[in-house]
Amino acid sequence: MNDDEPTILLTNDDGIDSVGLRAIYHSLSRVGDVTTVAPAEDQSAVGRALSHEVDVREHEMGYVVDGTPADCVVAGLEALVPETDLVVAGCNRGANLGAYVLGRSGTVSAAVEATFFDVPAIAVSMYIPVREDAAFADIEADADSYAEAARATAYLADHSLGAGVFEQCDYLNVNAPVAEWGPAPLEVTKPSRLYEMDAVRNGDAVTLHDRIWERMADGDIPDPEGTDRRAVVDGNVSVSPLTAPHTTEHHESLDALAETYDPESGP
């Protein structure tokens, strides 16, 4: 390996056998020294769930872990690939778009976990234009479909560290369209705030429904220019620079409440 090449820890939430993981592995191998530390099974939408102990086995691309994406990052950075320069999570089969999705996604959560070790990270996903009632587990996407996601990820992994990108953000959330849509330029975005979850009660059950996927499949979305969802629907690769700590620096109203609180008073 060239001394100038980054050491990259690659993980995902779709599992070690996913097509998207291997597509990203091959693209990253051209720009860095890549070690995969990925879950043994599909861990989609587990967020930052963490285990106390996980079994680890060697794999031709690195290691396979009986755990979550966050487990993979902690185990990888602390015990398996401690000299990591960059964590990449993906490529996820299905987009991770919109502010409300960030905390649910195992892919994005792996990137967030890395930032608490002060290791920059890239989460990458591929948008597949399907409606919500079509389970992603039933959707087939071959390696060629991930070409735009793989190309953009390799470019960012190769250039973002040296360009100082992570001096202004903690991680990048990347979403690419399927390659069949044609060449996709990079567009810097912010997560859309549009939220279209609803719930309907049917007897003893409640059905939760995210209507945005139907609107995206129809190309009918109200998201403004500059948002991640709009960029992908328009055929671009969305790159959102994000920070991980969920804090606010100063909150005057809450400060005032804290000052007037009497711990000896009743409820």
pLDDT tens digits along 210-254: 888 888 878 788 899 999 999 999 999 999 999 997 777 788 888
Tell me, what's the pLDDT at 145? 93
The pLDDT, as a whole number, for residue 124 is 98
Q: What does the pLDDT read at residue 136?
A: 52
Residues 19 and 142 sit within 8 Å (Cβ to Cβ): yes
Q: Are 44 and 139 in contact (CB under 8 A)?
A: no
pLDDT digit string, tens, across residues 84-98 = 999 999 999 999 999
The mean pLDDT value for 173-196 works out to: 94
pLDDT at 178 over 60: yes
Structure tokens at 129: 């234009």
Residues 6+ apart with CB under 8 A from 67: 39, 40, 43, 51, 54, 75
Structure tokens belonging to residue 72:
């993979």
SS (H, E, C) 72-86: HHHHHHHHHCCCCCE
CA 80 vs CA 46, 84, 170: distances in Å: 22, 10, 22
pLDDT class of 132 with cuts at 50, 70, 90: low
CA distances from 119 to 52, 74, 76, 213, 234 (A): 22, 11, 12, 32, 31
pLDDT band at 32 (very low <50, low <70, confident <90, very high): very high
